[in-house]
Structure 1
Amino acid sequence: MCVPKFATRRYPGLTLLEAADRADEDGGERIAPTTVNTYFQNLAAVFNWAVGEELVDRNLPIIRPAFRDLTA
């Protein structure tokens, strides 16, 4: 998925998919797929740290949604 830049500011109240659809209509800028993957990796690292600090019982696997290619 090509996530819109500043999606929560530009499209408040919309889900990420709705914001992506709206960005298609508006011709909005997108975040690079590698940036989205980095966000997922960083989130996983935070949860791994929390498990190590015994703040949570276990790290839940991050389920990445099946992103559709919005650039096509």
Structure 2
Amino acid sequence: MAAQFWREWQVGERVVVRYRVSGGYSDALGELTRIDASGVEVSTRRGLVAVPAADIVLGKHVPPPPPPRHR
């Protein structure tokens, strides 16, 4: 099994996780809400994304989102 670098992350951190899906890859960007042996869960703009440990390819911490623009 590949190194589980994401196991050192903390709930509440902002991350991006690249994971395998049928036909390629996808990314989940948002706040980490769960970390355990089965994988991670990320709260994204579109909702919660559960990523199984076996499907995680890459991941890293990301900075906070930019402030909203005023029109």
Same fold (TM over 0.5): no
Q: Judging by fraction of residues, say which structure has more helix.
A: 1
The one of the two structures with greater contact order (alpha-carbon pairs below 8 A, sep at least 6) is: 1
- TM normalised by structure 2 equals 0.29
TM-score (norm 1): 0.28
Larger strand proportion of the pair = 2
Higher-Rg member (1/2)? 1
